[in-house]
Amino acid sequence: MKTPKGFGQSQPSEIDKLVARAVRCCQKRKPEGLDQIFDNLPVQLNKQVLYGTVAALEQDIDSVSWLCGYLASEINDVLDNDKPHKPITLLSKLLIKSGMLLFEDFMPYTGCRISILNQEKFESLPPTVRAAIEKSFEVMESSSEEIQRMSEALLQEMEV
């Protein structure tokens, strides 16, 4: 006798389904799809979906970098994907390729900004990488309290 498909197997949770949908939006470069997900969830669920999406995309540097551009408001609609120069996306890609981790070592912030959370790791980047970043971007120091406020503001922005 055949066992029905899925019988005795756990079904994906609602969070798992949202993460899978968000991953597809990132891979297909669909910011409006991410808006539909993040605009309709409470902050705590947004956070779970966001972190789950980043974890699922861990090996896809291009999609994670694109997501950083989306989170920093550099990419707001599909037409933005065609813009040739997206500095936040490029900087994110450079940081990730240099061994920095999203939300652990750096964080995109609304207004086309990135905050470096791990100063030691940033300072240990090769001098050519740091010089390129400092030449192309304004580098400012922030206190941990300021970083916490920015993190909360990002989550609130995703709620709106």
pLDDT tens figures, 69-81: 999 999 999 999 8
pLDDT at residue 1 in the model: 46
Closest CA to 153 of 80, 72, 76: 72
pLDDT band at 150 (very low <50, low <70, confident <90, very high): low
- Taking the C-alpha atoms of residue 110 and residue 158, their distance in angstroms, rounded to an integer, is 10
Helix, strand, coil percentages for the chain (3-state, nearest 5) = 60, 5, 35
Which residue(s) pair with 113 in the sheet? 109
Residues in the chain: 160
Q: Please provide the average confidence, as pLDDT, over all residues in the chain.
A: 86
Whether the Cβ atoms of residue 93 and residue 65 lie closer than 8 Å to each other: yes
